[in-house]
Chain A
């Protein structure tokens, strides 16, 4: 693990009409770190991801990725630089078989460049990637239409779509939501391994028990503001976080 900062976020803000979705959030991410972002519903977690990946432009603030200012760049340019993300509402390319879903990112200039133009058929690479996220290679699952996949596989297909870019940073937006216990149990080691291999990861998650097993640091958002940042147990002890999740006591 290096000490290089992968991501430096400096006071980004964004409001939609009169609603402040994200307000002056700053944080940084070291190389190989796994940062969890939690917060109640509507606290601006997904907007923050959209700000980092270019799907939403910030009103103010800066996002520095590996020393490069990527604020307000187009999403495909940011992905090209090595930030891959999953979507909370996983919508695969339903009309294609699962493994063909990965052909699309594999067709990108980034992958072409990284593989130096000399690689086997994209189909084979796609099957390898699916195996990496727990699709049984010799079964028919990788060849199933994406529309017929069980939800857990759809989520892991999203993860594979990220990995196909050979990213330096992946941002997982509620990867575990809607997964069964056993699906989560089989996905956890995959993320653990990726992080162990030095991949920097940001995870947005509502399933705190699973997140705390993985994350070395957790950041808490509430009403678009950052209210805590630190090791998981420390953060959960903080009064601000307790208040955000459980509400404040009503004074008589």
Chain B
């Protein structure tokens, strides 16, 4: 007779007691709760200070990573209202071009153009998406995928906003490298914690309700289109800010601002990291962007390795890396004999 084993999962520590109410009774428990939240925050705050140690190159990678993470958060917010978007580039490009235009035409400093570009870009995107908010699922995705491509061709054909040349010679964000390093990091914190708070408020419950069952929300006397539009505006803020920032960071804005990369990469980050709680997409961005830099050593084969790793991760951990780690953190696993 063969002895068979079965995997048993047991909740660990304070997770056992209840789903959301618990009393902390020791240092160990406080650390158990706080460390996984505090460590990434501390890492992000300290990493720029290590400029001498890791070199300016990796500091710049940090900036790009934060930018991508912001776009991924923006994607995840839309997803939590049930809007699957393939067009984060629309937000990015709108923010970037508006900021560039304000600086180029009126000579306003970055301190003015970035907030205005973010707000104005988000408002523009929301108005632009308003007619398509009624459609759902794949149809919404297709429309958002096409919009940035459409705008690029409009700019190319009408030669507005610098046409194919783009707008160059814009003001530099700041002569101070610390400002350039810390703004994306702080924006990321603001977005991450802001979004996590928002989605758990009563307002956020309505948004989640629209994702789960929009008919039931409607029969609850709630205008779902209004809420969807507000969510798009908030997500567009998070997507337009990176664009506005990058315009002054590169002192240039051009057609690449609407590139497909800005649409696909945030989605990939979110899927890899795990959809639904904002920490997942963030983790995804912090894996994918540095990974793509490390793989530069492989030259032409870079994309091959990159794609291979991506496929392995998505197939192996379909729930997302974050959710996998979270589960492992909260649970023991042991083998139990089956009679």
- Give the residue of B203, B205, B209, B218 whose beta carbon is less than 8 angstroms from that of A76: B218
Q: How far is the CA of A80 from the CA of B224 in the complex (A)?
A: 13
* A164 (CB) vs chain B CBs: closest residue: B220
Report how far A108 CA is from B223 CA in the complex, Å.
Answer: 8
> B202 an interface residue at 8 Å Cβ cutoff?
yes
Give the contacting residue for A94; candidates B206, B212, B215, B217; CB below 8 A. Answer: B212
The answer to whether A122 has its CB under 8 Å from any CB of chain B is yes
Main secondary structure of the interface of B (DSSP, over half): helix
Q: Which parts of B216-242 form the interface with A (CB within 8 Å)?
A: 216-224
- A87 CA / B215 CA spacing, docked (Å): 9
On chain A, the residues within 8 Å of B221 by CB distance are 76, 79-80, 105, 108-111, 165
Give the CA-CA distance A143 to B21 in the complex, in Å: 11
Which of A3-11, A59-67, A95-103 lies at the binding interface? A95-103
Do A93 and B219 have beta carbons less than 8 Å apart? no
A87-B216 contact given A107-B202, A107-B205, CB 8 Å threshold = yes
At the interface, yes or no: B144 with Cβ under 8 Å from chain A? Answer: no
Knowing A79-B221, A110-B221, A165-B221 are in contact, say whether A55-B215 is a contact too (CB < 8 A). yes
Q: With an 8 A cutoff between CB atoms, is B103 at the interface?
A: no
Complexed CA–CA distance, A100 and B207 (Å): 13
B213 in contact with A79 (CB, 8 Å): no
Taken residue by residue from 144 to 187, chain A's Cβ proximity to chain B (1 for < 8 Å, 0 otherwise) reads as 00000000000000000100110000000000000000000000
Contacts A93-B208, A96-B208, A104-B209 given: A53-B219 contact, CB under 8 Å?
A: yes
Inter-chain contact B216/A103, CB cutoff 8 Å: no
Contact across chains for A79 and B205 when beta carbons are under 8 A apart:
no
Q: Is the CB of B206 within 8 A of A104?
A: yes
| Residue A75 interfacial (CB < 8 Å) | yes
Q: How far does the Cβ of B126 sit from chain A's closest Cβ, in whole Å?
A: 20
Q: B19 contacts which chain A residues (CB < 8 A)?
A: 143
Find the A residue at minimum CB distance from B222. A108
In the assembled complex, how far is the CB of residue A191 from the closest CB belonging to chain B, in whole angstroms? 18
Q: Determine how close the nearest CB of chain A comes to the CB of B215; give it in whole angstroms.
A: 7
Query: Does A84 count as interface, using CB distance less than 8 angstroms?
Result: yes
Q: A97 — nearest CB in chain B belongs to which residue?
A: B19
A-B contact count (CB 8 A): 79
Give Cα A80 to B219, complex, Å. 9
Give Cα A86–Cα B220 distance, bound, in whole angstroms.
Answer: 10
A217 at the interface (CB under 8 A from B): no
A226 at the binding interface (Cβ < 8 Å): no
Give the residues in chain A near B220, CB-CB below 8 Å.
76, 79, 104-105, 107-108, 161, 164-165
Chain A nearest CB from B330 CB (Å) reads: 17
Q: Which residue of A lies closest to B217 (CB)?
A: A104
The 8 Å CB contact of B219, one of A85, A92, A111, A122, is A85
Q: Mark A71-87, 1 if CB is under 8 A from B, else 0.
A: 00011100110001101
- Chain B: how many interface residues by the 8 Å CB criterion? 19
The answer to whether A93 and B218 have CB atoms under 8 Å apart is no
A39 vs B202: C-alpha distance when bound (angstroms): 40
Taking the closest CB of chain B, its distance from the CB of A246, in whole angstroms, is: 35
User: A167–B171 Cα gap in the complex (Å)?
Assistant: 58
Contacts of A164 in B (CB 8 A): 220
Q: Which of B180-227 contact A (CB under 8 A)?
A: 202-203, 205-206, 208-209, 212-213, 215-224
Output the least CB separation between B4 and chain A (Å): 29
**A131 to B160, alpha carbons, bound, how many Å?**
62
By the criterion CB–CB under 8 Å, are B222 and A104 in contact?
Answer: yes
The reply to whether B205 and A104 contact each other, CB–CB distance below 8 Å, is: yes
In the bound complex, CA of A143 to CA of B208 (Å)? 17
Q: Is A115 interfacial (CB 8 A cutoff)? A: no
Which of B203, B217, B219 counts the most chain A CB atoms within 10 A?
A: B219
**With A93-B212, A93-B213, A94-B212 as given contacts, are A75 and B205 in contact (CB-CB < 8 Å)?**
no
CB distance from A70 to the nearest CB of B (A): 13
User: B202, B219, B224: which contacts A103 (Cβ < 8 A)?
Assistant: B202
Distance from A57 Cβ to chain B, minimum over Cβ atoms (Å): 14
Q: Contact between B219 and A84 (Cβ–Cβ < 8 Å)?
A: yes
Could you say which residues of chain B place their CB within 8 Å of the CB of A137?
none
Q: Identify the closest chain B residue to A53 (Cβ).
A: B219
A91 beta carbon closer than 8 Å to chain B = yes
Q: Is the CB of A107 within 8 A of B206?
A: yes
In the assembly, what is the distance between CA of A84 and CA of B220, in Å? 7
B15 to chain A, nearest CB (A): 15
* A/B interface sample: 13 pairs, CB < 8 A: A55-B219, A75-B219, A76-B222, A76-B224, A84-B219, A91-B212, A92-B216, A93-B208, A95-B212, A103-B205, A104-B216, A107-B206, A107-B222
**B residues with CB within 8 A of A:** 19, 202-203, 205-206, 208-209, 212-213, 215-224
| Seed contacts A104-B209, A105-B220; 15 additional CB < 8 Å A-B pairs | A76-B218, A79-B220, A79-B221, A87-B215, A91-B213, A91-B216, A92-B213, A93-B212, A93-B216, A95-B212, A104-B206, A104-B222, A105-B221, A107-B205, A164-B220
The 5 A-B residue pairs whose C-beta atoms are closest, nearest first, are: A105-B220, A79-B221, A108-B221, A104-B209, A80-B221
